[in-house]
Structure 1
Amino acid sequence: MNLFLELRKHGKLAEKRHPMYEKSKFGKFWMYFMSVFWAGYLIFFGTTFAFAFDGGAKEAYHVMNSGLVFILALDFLLRLPFLKTPTQEVKPYLLLPVKRNRLIDFLLLRSGLNSFNLFWLFLFVPFAIITVTKFYGVTGVVTYCIGIWLLIIFNNYWYLLCRTLMDERIWWFLLPVAVYGGIAAALFIPDNSPLFALSIDLGEGFITGNLLIFAGTLVAIAIMCLINRSIMQKLIYNELNKVEDTTVQVKSVSEYKFLDRYGEIGEYIRLELKLLLRNKVCKKSLYSITAVVLMFSLIISFSDLYDGGMRDFFVLYNYIIFGILFLSPLMSYEGNYIDGLMSRRESIYSLLRAKYILYSLALIIPFVLMIPGMVTGRVSVLTCVSWLVFVPGAVYCCLFQLAVYNNKTLDLNAKMTGRQNVGTGLQNLISGGAFGVPLLLLFALKATVGKEVAPWILIAIGILFIATSRWWLRNVYYRFMKRRYKNMEGFHDSRQK
């Protein structure tokens, strides 16, 4: 316990001494605001579900419990852009007389106690108060919420396992795909799937305080922790001791000759493509997010799993996730070679334009993947076009402002022990706002002008920002140059030694 408290204290001191701490304080207020917004969103849904599920053949909490697997799957997907593996804190302590196993145990314990694991209670607490209290009283609400919290913790460790393996080998994304695909097949292919009954019994056990159910959940959490511990220990050892995979051979190297015709902008687009496709961290992230977008597109196009507001959320997710993943740390990867970039006049401006063009063109990928949904009528063509225009316009304008303030170098190859996974308050603010504000704007427009006119307004806003992109990109460049010495100092100080 003393080690846990001491390392927790060290983590708080490291955050305060971080060069981005002052900007994090600025972003924390807005990050708290977005947290309150999403908490209110979940409370609204929890209350709505309580009344919507009431009055049927089954009790409302039985209906909710039958869908627990969908909540866990959604929780898994929402963690992908926001939560990384927690192993970056191991490296500074390896020279101290502290066992590596104890360090990993601390990281896993801290991950289980992360406040992110409590967020779903904003959905379940109001739901339970309305539906469970009248049969089982306050005790049933408390035990039910504790059980849900334990399920989310189990899901957290399951996510860490998958994320750790995917960071090591991208093909491990087939593991969660196979698991969730198998669960979906077991749920929907049989006429009366026993999994629904098992899910209902699990929730019922939480409500009634069944000790066997709680003990089984705790054992499952412990097993998942042990698996994570074993794998993380092995991978951290391999990375720190520079154990390379000699079986991988480079068969061909593309120089992207077709970009020569675009001059300096083409050169920086080529640089960005090499950054994404030749470095471990960027390449794994790119492949993982592409797989997630493909899976979301298939689910939205061929199932009724997400309807109404949730469908709008996940359609926007498909369009915005690439930008959030690679533009929220804007200039941080370039911190590894920022001195070379600063040696040429206006090279940063050209780099910003190249990034804007490349990531705007990348939105064609989710648009193409959504074509089956447009054909089946589950997503309107106008909605997809509106996000295709609005995201590179208004949303990217906000994300590119981070280029002025980011001054932390992110390692391109350290997957397990690098500190690149620690986001700042400002980055978290922009990432959360990139999801919340467009959705809020869409709902407001639908309520005021109607769902037919709302996409056209989004298109008009997007076109306005795209048409003025040269102006606001140059503004970002000028502000970056005013801070260039402070930023370069931060880039130098935060490089991996």
Structure 2
Amino acid sequence: MKLFNELRKHGKLAAKRHPMYDKNRFGKYLMVAMSVFWAGYLIFFGMTFAFALDTQSMEPYHLLNSGLVFVLAIDFLMRFPFQKTPTQEVKPYLLLPVKRNKIIDFLLIRSGLDTFNLFWLFLFVPFAIITLPKYFGFTGVITYCAGIWLLMIFNNYWFLLCRTLMSERIWWIALPVLLYGGIAAAIFIPKKSLVGDFFVNLGEGYIEGNGWMFAGTLAAIVAMWLINRKVMKALVYSELNKVEDTKVKHLSEYKFLDKYGEVGEYMRLELKLLLRNKTCKHGLRMVLLVVVGFSLVLSFSDIYDGVFMTNFIVIYNFAIFGLLFLSTVMSYEGNYIDGLMSRKESILSLLKAKYYLYSLGILIPLVLMIPAIVMGKIAVLMAVSWAIFTVGFVYFALFQLVVYNTKTIPLNAKIGVRQNTGTGLQNLVSFATFGLPIMFYFLLKTIFDETVSLYVLLFIGTGFIATSGLWMTNVYHRFMKRRYKNMEGFRDSRE
């Protein structure tokens, strides 16, 4: 216990002493505000379900319990943007006479006790208070909420296992897909759902304080704990010993870029950055999977045929590539920024190379949306307008972060590195470049018709593309004025 307390204190001190601590405060305040909003939303839904599900055939808690599997699936998906794999830096402790299992146990304990696992109680507590006391008293409310909390802890460790495996090999995404696909088939194909009955009985066992139900849930948590510990131990050992660094499958020189001079050389560097480093490759694969998935849903499903959701998916498909890699622009280069700064105006050529390469990357979602265009789900003008607007205005906004990003992101470390959320400015710019275009589009639609609104977007995007040389040079000069401050930040945040 003394060791765990020491590690917890070290974690707090490391966070406070990190050079990005002050810059992350705005992002933390924003997350708190969003958490309060969604907590209120869940309380409202909990009270609404308590009255809306009160039917003659079944009790409200039976109906809600039959859908617990859907709550767990939603919780699993919600954790991707908000929860990272354990972030305690393990390298210094592995050099000390401390068992590796104890370090990993601390990481897993901290993850299990994370307040995120309590978030769904904002839905279940008001629901339980309204529906359970008349039959089971407040003891039933307490045991039911305790059971839901244990389920969320189990889901937390299940998510950690999937996220850790997917960080190493993207093909592990098949594991949750097959599991949830099998659950969906078991629910919707047979006339009587055994999965629904299982969760009804599980929820009722929690309400009644059934010891076997709690023991089974705890056993599942322990089993998932042991699996996570074994996987994390193996991956930490592999990463610290750089097992994969010596394996090069093939070498690509991209010689077709030679004719573009220094800009072509930096385009080659950017391609190698994206395709050869573990962190970048993982992000690139996730982006491609999301774009392909959204494009297929948009093309062959009626789920998102509304005007808002259609535009949301289209702009998301175009913007996600830039949001992932350009919101952290220069952060990967922070690993070797000293070499880049040793050549006159090399940063300007690097910025141009990034802009040209990521602009060409827009062709991927544009091509993937051709089936949606053929199926009549979206118009050609909509796809082209949003693509041009993204390359023009959205990329212009994201490139402003070149001046202010000062945190180095490791290129290959995934397990033995402290992970941090983006700075407040990164979060604000990312939100603005994604949310404001949709708001602006619907504002235009209230004034003009859809065709005129799309042409306005096309015109704005074309204007920013035509003037890209001017605003990129402006970004470069502003960056050079702050270069010593930025370089200090890049050096301080290197692992």
TM-score range with shorter-chain normalisation?
0.7 to 0.9
* 1:285 shift after superposition: 2.5
CA distance in 2, matches of 1:21, 1:434: 22
The number of equivalent residue pairs is 493
CA distance in 2, matches of 1:267, 1:339: 18
| Aligned-residue identity in percent | 65
CA distance in 2, matches of 1:451, 1:212: 62
CA distance in 1, matches of 2:311, 2:210: 38
The answer to whether the aligner puts 1:350 opposite 2:353 as a matched pair is no
Deviation string for 1:361-396 (max 9, x for gaps)?
334434444455555667777765665455445544
CA distance in 1, matches of 2:51, 2:443: 26
CA distance in 2, matches of 1:40, 1:80: 22
CA distance in 2, matches of 1:56, 1:454: 53
Match of residue 332 from structure 1: 331
CA distance in 1, matches of 2:466, 2:50: 46
Partner SS state of residue 422, structure 1:
coil
Which of 273, 276, 279 in structure 2 is aligned with 1:275?
273
Partner SS state of residue 218, structure 2:
helix
The alignment's TM-score, normalised by the length of structure 2, stands at 0.82
> Which consecutive residues of structure 1, in runs of 5 or more, have no partner in the other structure?
none
Match of residue 149 from structure 1: 149
Match of residue 85 from structure 2: 85
> Which consecutive residues of structure 2, in runs of 5 or more, have no partner in the other structure?
none
Amino acid at match of 1:22: D
Match of residue 199 from structure 2: 199
Distance 1:245 1:262, change over 3 A: closer
| Worse-matched range after superposition: 354-363 or 96-105 | 354-363
* 1:170 shift after superposition: 3.0
Give the conservation status (yes or no) of the 8 Å contact 1:151–1:217. Answer: yes
Give the conservation status (yes or no) of the 8 Å contact 2:311–2:438. Answer: no
Alignment of 1:431-470 (within 5 A): 433=431, 437-438=435-436, 441=439, 445=443, 456=454, 466=465, 469-470=468-469
Alignment of 1:294-443 (within 5 A): 294-299=292-297, 301-302=299-300, 317-372=316-371, 387-419=386-418, 421-426=419-424, 429-430=427-428, 433=431, 437-438=435-436, 441=439
CA distance in 2, matches of 1:369, 1:120: 36
* 1:183 shift after superposition: 2.5
* 1:103 shift after superposition: 0.7
Give the conservation status (yes or no) of the 8 Å contact 2:398–2:430. Answer: no
Amino acid at match of 2:486: N
Match of residue 3 from structure 1: 3
| Worse-matched range after superposition: 284-293 or 36-45 | 36-45
Match of residue 291 from structure 1: 289
Distance 1:361 1:381, change over 3 A: same
Distance 1:245 1:349, change over 3 A: closer
CA distance in 1, matches of 2:121, 2:376: 34
Distance 1:45 1:289, change over 3 A: farther
CA RMSD after TM alignment: 4.0
CA distance in 2, matches of 1:473, 1:47: 52
Give the conservation status (yes or no) of the 8 Å contact 2:277–2:411. Answer: yes
Distance 1:206 1:274, change over 3 A: same
CA distance in 2, matches of 1:44, 1:290: 36
Amino acid at match of 2:355: Y
Distance 1:47 1:366, change over 3 A: farther
Partner SS state of residue 243, structure 2:
coil
Distance 1:183 1:51, change over 3 A: same
Give the conservation status (yes or no) of the 8 Å contact 1:386–1:455. Answer: no
Give the conservation status (yes or no) of the 8 Å contact 1:34–1:429. Answer: no
Match of residue 24 from structure 2: 24
Match of residue 257 from structure 1: 255
Amino acid at match of 1:98: V
Distance 1:63 1:270, change over 3 A: farther
Distance 1:163 1:10, change over 3 A: same
CA distance in 1, matches of 2:297, 2:56: 27
* 1:235 shift after superposition: 1.7
Distance 1:40 1:350, change over 3 A: farther
* 1:124 shift after superposition: 4.5
Give the conservation status (yes or no) of the 8 Å contact 2:90–2:417. Answer: no
Amino acid at match of 1:286: L
